[in-house]
């Protein structure tokens, strides 16, 4: 996973983790926007948004030119934007409304479409942004190259809406696809695929608490004694994968 560039950073407290996550995000923003004017960020759901709380506070909030941010979702539940299950709603209320990112640069799914339509529409939207130079394209593949993915995992090692033993793990062509039988409710979702995730410049995998300790141990220590977890299928072609853990999530690591 991410070859020689895999990196594990462990924090004693939740506040220290949130502070570290904000600091690293600012560092990546500064580094990448020295060469270009857009910064493309992909969010996940769950407690990730709560861990971004320090980014909307001084000093970090003032160290970012938010007009350069373009925000996407690695996966989304196919519900209305005001639904409690919506990843957009979670991110909007907990993060996006607190920073001056231009609304036109926040790319939620079309909640008037069904799962297949929403996936196709989101892929078309990303392709249009690639064509206009907003989203980079991988120099190695035809897939979009996002600057930073801020992700989490489940206790079963899933990321995005890519679950163990599911046929979507094998998707090699589509940028965005859909799932109607998610083992985690709600069942109907859209998701980026592994080729898109693997084209990222940076991934921060943020894990806190005890629920995912077994998945963290297997993924970080490279246990492939049985079936790979979905997160173990992340092989960045030319990027950096950073584990950002609190001491509870890291408690089973050697």
Report pLDDT digits (tens) over 48-81. 999 999 999 999 999 999 999 999 999 999 999 9
CA distance 126 to 136: 10
Output the pLDDT for position 254: 87
Distance (Å, whole) CA 75 – CA 56: 23
Buried b or exposed e, range 212-247, using 16+ CB within 10 angstroms: bbebbbbbbeeeeeeeebbbbbbebbbbbbbbbbbe
**Range with lowest mean pLDDT among 78-87, 200-209, 220-229:** 220-229
3-state secondary structure of 113: coil
Asked if residue 31 is part of any domain, the answer here is yes
Average pLDDT over residues 11-34: 98
**Residue 96 within any structural domain of the chain:** yes
pLDDT band of 117, cuts 50, 70, 90: very high
Of 241, 219, 239, 223, the closest CA to residue 9 belongs to 241
Q: Is residue 116 part of a domain?
A: yes
pLDDT of 145-183, one tens digit each?
A: 999 999 999 999 999 999 999 999 999 999 999 999 999
pLDDT at 4: 40
- Answer yes or no: is 179 within a domain: yes
Residue at 6 is within a domain: no
Q: 63 lies in which domain range?
A: 16-226
Query: Whole-angstrom distance between the N-terminal and C-terminal Cα of the chain?
Result: 18
Dihedral class, residue 3 (left if φ above 0, else alpha if ψ from -120 to 50, else beta): left
Indicate the pairing of strand 39-43 with strand 69-73: parallel
CATH code for the domain in which residue 46 is found: 3.40.50.1360
pLDDT given at position 225:
67
Give domain status of residue 2, yes or no: no
pLDDT tens digits along 24-56: 999 999 999 998 999 999 999 999 999 999 999
Answer yes or no: is 250 within a domain. Answer: no
pLDDT band at 223 (very low <50, low <70, confident <90, very high): confident
pTM for the model: 0.96
Using CB atoms within 10 Å of the CB of residue 118, give its burial: 0 to 12 exposed, 13 to 18 middle, 19+ buried: buried
Contact between 39 and 148 under an 8 Å Cβ cutoff? The reply is yes
124 part of a folded domain: yes
Calculate what percentage of the chain has a pLDDT beyond 70: 96
Number of structural domains in the chain: 1
């Amino acid at each position: 996973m991410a070859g020689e560039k895999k990196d594990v950073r462990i924090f004693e407290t939740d506040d220290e983790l949130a502070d570290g996550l904000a600091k690293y995000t600012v560092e990546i923003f500064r580094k990448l926007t020295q060469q270009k004017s857009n910064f493309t960020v992909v969010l996940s759901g769950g407690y990730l948004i709560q861990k971004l709380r320090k980014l909307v506070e001084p000093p970090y909030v003032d160290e970012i030119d938010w007009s350069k941010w373009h925000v996407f979702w690695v996966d989304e539940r196919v519900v209305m934007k005001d639904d409690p299950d919506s990843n957009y709603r979670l991110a909007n209320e907990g993060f996006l409304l607190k920073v001056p990112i231009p609304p036109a640069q926040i790319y939620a799914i079309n909640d008037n479409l069904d799962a297949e339509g929403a996936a196709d529409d989101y892929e078309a939207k990303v392709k249009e942004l690639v064509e206009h130079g907003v989203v980079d394209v991988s120099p190695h593949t035809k897939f979009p190259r996002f600057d930073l993915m801020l992700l989490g995992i489940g206790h079963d090692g899933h990321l995005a809406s890519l679950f163990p033993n599911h046929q979507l793990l094998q998707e090699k062509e589509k940028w965005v696809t859909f799932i109607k039988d998610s083992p985690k409710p709600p069942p109907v979702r859209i998701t980026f695929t592994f080729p898109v995730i693997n084209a990222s410049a940076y991934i921060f995998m943020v894990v806190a608490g005890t629920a995912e300790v077994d998945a963290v141990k297997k993924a970080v220590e490279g246990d492939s004694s049985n079936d790979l977890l979905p997160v173990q299928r992340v092989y960045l072609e030319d990027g950096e994968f950073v584990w950002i853990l609190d001491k509870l999530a890291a408690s089973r690591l050697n």
